[in-house]
């Protein structure tokens, strides 16, 4: 299984699939279609049924049931795009066999190292096989490790027909990293009663909670005149933006929060004296606190406008997704089966809230309960990303075991 997994993963990360939040096309980048078509062809060659790749880049297929009694169809989903945060072009993965616990040279010329001093989790993987970047791009384990795990698990089930399973629905989506992965996902056509995204991190992660999420854009309109004669006349939009940012709690930011703690994340800023803009991610697991966060942003805007005596601060807030726990809690067997699968594969479950979102966060509210399971990846979205191959193989084993347990449960 390891060799097959490695071949798949290395093949997938060689394809640039970075999404673009400023694009209005679907998918947001045409390069994602290159991977979509490759996966379509691979699924066809594997003999799966109902293999499709639509114009929007959504790939789907079904591994038909091999039992003669009714079993719920279940799904496994991963996304094809990589994050805009770092380049996904010309990825040059480095395979580190039998990791020795020391700093890994990612790029000697640039002096870039993956060090256990900065990333202590590395010490947990002595003797394991790691795949790293070359220090100039991200790796793409988020989420091509998930794609490879699903494909490897499907192949394993085909090669071992004695393992019982119902219909296994496969879905690969574009544009998840920019929050659009579920936009054109056809839940009824997919055909599953529930699903799992394979989009988590370290081995054992099993997640049914996500943030409630909104994006806020605050635009500031100033009045610019020559600074030499500006007294009493200039209204500096950038200064208003600075005042706005200072009104938000300094301790409630990603770098100072964890677990169920929410945050305001300033992820983009621009401007001059005439016009400035701040873009925030607003996140909280608790719905009431989430609404309070949005109201705080709105109230700061109102307060500044009152101080200025005119409408110079415009606040726009858009909800993105809700905490999927509210839907998954209605179908407890979905998590119970996953927990048992991890146990059977000798994997210790790590159940914790996702400090982000997955396609499943939206799909769960579209009628497809979809918790999330691990891939074995770490440090997503940047040049220090790496994958633990042994954990990735465990991910594939868990997928196959979930399929078996679902069929076993229905046979009783």
Closest by CA to 353, choosing from 207, 231, 245, 171, is 207
Instruction: Let me know: does 11 contact 36? Beta carbons within 8 Å.
Output: no
Whether residue 410 is predicted with pLDDT greater than 70 in this model: the reply is no
Question: Residue 356: its pLDDT value, please?
Answer: 82
Residues marked active site are found at 81, 176
Query: Residue 295: phi, psi to the nearest 5?
Result: -65, -35
Whether residue 289 is predicted with pLDDT greater than 80 in this model: the reply is yes
Q: Which residues pair with 384 in a beta bridge?
A: none
Question: Residue 18: its pLDDT value, please?
Answer: 98
Query: Considering the chain, what is the average pLDDT of its residues?
Result: 96
Question: Residue 357: its pLDDT value, please?
Answer: 80
pLDDT in tens, 148-206: 999 999 999 999 999 999 999 999 999 999 989 999 999 999 999 999 999 999 999 99
Token digits of residue 236: 């500096």
Token digits of residue 70: 């009714």
Question: Residue 159: its pLDDT value, please?
Answer: 97
Question: Residue 283: its pLDDT value, please?
Answer: 97
Instruction: Let me know: does 96 contact 214? Beta carbons within 8 Å.
Output: no
For 397, residues 6+ apart whose C-beta sits below 8 A from its C-beta are 1, 153, 156, 345
Query: Residue 133: phi, psi to the nearest 5?
Result: -90, 180
Mean per-residue pLDDT, 287-314: 97
Domains and CATH numbers, the chain: 2-210+323-411 (3.40.630.10), 216-321 (3.30.70.360)
CA distances from 372 to 75, 87, 314, 394, 395 (A): 12, 25, 36, 15, 11
Question: Residue 1: its pLDDT value, please?
Answer: 84
Residue with more model confidence, 361 or 139: 139
Question: Residue 408: its pLDDT value, please?
Answer: 86
Instruction: Let me know: does 323 contact 212? Beta carbons within 8 Å.
Output: yes
Whether residue 323 is predicted with pLDDT greater than 90 in this model: the reply is yes
Mean per-residue pLDDT, 393-410: 94
Mean per-residue pLDDT, 78-89: 96
Percent of the chain with pLDDT over 90: 96
Question: Residue 10: its pLDDT value, please?
Answer: 98
Question: In which band, very low, low, confident or very high, does the pLDDT at 409 lie, cut at 50, 70 and 90?
Answer: confident
Mean per-residue pLDDT, 30-45: 98
Question: Residue 46: its pLDDT value, please?
Answer: 98
Question: Residue 411: its pLDDT value, please?
Answer: 56
Q: Each residue of 373-404: b (16+ CB within 10 Å) or e?
A: bbbbbbbbeebbbbbbbebbbbbbbbbbbbbb
Mean per-residue pLDDT, 296-325: 96
- Tell me the whole-structure pTM to 2 decimals: 0.91
pLDDT in tens, 96-116: 999 999 999 999 999 999 999
pLDDT in tens, 5-15: 999 999 999 99
Question: In which band, very low, low, confident or very high, does the pLDDT at 44 lie, cut at 50, 70 and 90?
Answer: very high
In this structure, the number of other CB atoms found within 10 A of the CB of residue 102 comes to 11
Question: In which band, very low, low, confident or very high, does the pLDDT at 210 lie, cut at 50, 70 and 90?
Answer: very high
Mean per-residue pLDDT, 247-274: 96
Mean per-residue pLDDT, 224-245: 95
pLDDT in tens, 85-97: 999 999 999 999 9
Whether residue 228 is predicted with pLDDT greater than 70 in this model: the reply is yes
Question: Residue 197: its pLDDT value, please?
Answer: 97
């Amino acid at each position: 299984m390891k060799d097959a997994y490695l071949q798949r993963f290395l093949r997938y990360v060689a394809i640039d699939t970075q999404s673009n939040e400023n694009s209005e096309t679907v998918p947001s980048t045409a390069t994602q279609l290159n991977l979509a078509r490759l996966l379509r062809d691979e699924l066809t060659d594997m003999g799966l049924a109902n293999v499709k790749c639509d114009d929007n880049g959504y790939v789907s297929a079904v591994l038909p049931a091999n039992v003669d009694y009714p079993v719920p169809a279940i799904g496994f989903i991963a996304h094809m795009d990589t994050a805009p945060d770092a380049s996904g072009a010309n990825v040059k993965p480095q395979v580190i066999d039998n990791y020795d616990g020391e700093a890994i040279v990612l790029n000697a010329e640039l002096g870039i190292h993956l060090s256990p001093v900065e990333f202590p989790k590395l010490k947990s993987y002595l003797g394991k096989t790691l795949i790293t970047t070359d220090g100039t791009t991200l790796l793409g384990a988020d989420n091509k490790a998930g794609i490879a795990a699903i494909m490897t698990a499907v192949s394993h089930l085909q090669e071992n027909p004695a393992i019982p399973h119902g219909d296994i629905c496969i879905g690969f989506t574009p544009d998840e990293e920019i929050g659009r992965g579920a936009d054109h996902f056809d839940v009824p056509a997919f055909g599953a009663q529930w699903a799992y995204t394979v989009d988590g991190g370290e081995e054992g992660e099993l997640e049914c909670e996500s943030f409630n999420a909104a994006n806020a854009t605050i635009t500031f309109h100033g009045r610019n005149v020559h600074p030499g004669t500006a007294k009493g006349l200039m209204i500096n939009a950038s200064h208003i933006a600075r005042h706005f940012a200072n009104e938000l709690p300094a301790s409630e930011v990603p770098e100072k929060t964890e677990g169920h703690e929410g945050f305001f994340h300033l992820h983009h800023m621009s401007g001059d004296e005439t016009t400035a803009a701040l873009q925030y991610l607003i996140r909280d697991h608790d719905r009431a606190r989430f609404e309070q966060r949005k109201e705080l942003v709105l109230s700061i805007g109102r307060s500044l406008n009152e101080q200025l005596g005119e409408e110079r601060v415009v606040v726009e807030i858009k909800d993105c997704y809700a905490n999927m726990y509210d839907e998954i809690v209605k179908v407890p067997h979905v998590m119970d089966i996953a927990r048992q699968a991890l146990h059977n594969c000798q994997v210790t479950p790590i159940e914790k809230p996702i400090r982000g979102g997955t396609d499943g966060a939206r799909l769960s509210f579209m009628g497809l309960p979809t918790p999330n399971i691990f891939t074995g990846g770490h440090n997503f979205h940047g040049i220090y990303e790496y994958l633990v191959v042994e954990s990735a193989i465990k991910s594939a084993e868990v997928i196959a075991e979930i399929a078996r347990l679902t069929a076993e449960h229905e046979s009783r």
